[in-house]
Structure 1
């Protein structure tokens, strides 16, 4: 039973709390900062993604709970798709791995909370063209451009380890794909908003994981001083 499988229960609880917290963040953004949080997408690309991604996220809340026992209304084909093989969930030797997956999910949620508060009023679920957002390059963002999305991938990975059914694997693939497409959309927007600053930031950071080798930034070439400035320097040196 789901309620007796502690690794699975822990991972699912982390998922439920994570997305409940996202809802709280949306409300907080409206009430505290008086800004849009992107709960409703504004661009055509993100509207199309939402049509696939939102159902997948909703299924993420429930499908892992069926890994040990399918719901009574499921047919034979559905049961084989949404339940995990008994050998992967009930074998004693694999329980430490499943606990590692559960703890991974909890750690991903905890680290995400830190990132949320670090972003403050700059946080949003989607691109909001009318929102004036700053460029955050400190903390977790100093090496990774999208640490929150990276942690969301880790949360999904923890779910898959504790509830390794074919259905969860498909949801994981959809989630990773949608996150990748979303980052491309956001980076396009941020490049148009912040120009060279964001382009330089992209060169020294990874999308989801830190770059192993960070290229050195080209030194800024100093412009020659004007004749008037050169005379001023000579006078100061002479004094």
Structure 2
């Protein structure tokens, strides 16, 4: 014999509330379905854009690194003109890549080695303008620029380049050399007091440096 299950009035009210809420949710979904689908499509589209952007960026980095590698091979084989062409391509066309800053650094040094000091200075200035705050090569770029100024006998600008590098990057491994070059500029500018002060900074601040011995000799002669 089948058993009849009876529900209380309270239970019936709860059941009605459940059905009512369910219907409200269903109606809300029907009303919002199109906007929700549009939103979902927009999110999916944005995700695809981000994905392709990162993929494109990755491909650009690969291309930039390939050109940079080619430039280094050309440089090692003494084909400086070809190296310069490849480095310029990276610096000009792949500005957002890590290879771009390295290309400018190498370009400045190659111009310096070739004795084209004005171009070396221009490239170093371009590097500092674009990458100074975000690259570990910056002290070396200041050194290259200052050294190029020395070769053109522009000791005042050379002094500024070396002093700026020391002030901004006192813990860089090149600091002793920068101080030594800074003292040379002071000597050329007939500023013995500044030269002595700079040499003292080198001797006391970096006693283990290979520049200390020569710095002491220069200091004794002032």
Larger radius of gyration: 2
The TM-score normalised by the length of structure 2 is: 0.26
Q: Which has the higher helix share?
A: 2
The TM-score normalised by the length of structure 1 is: 0.24
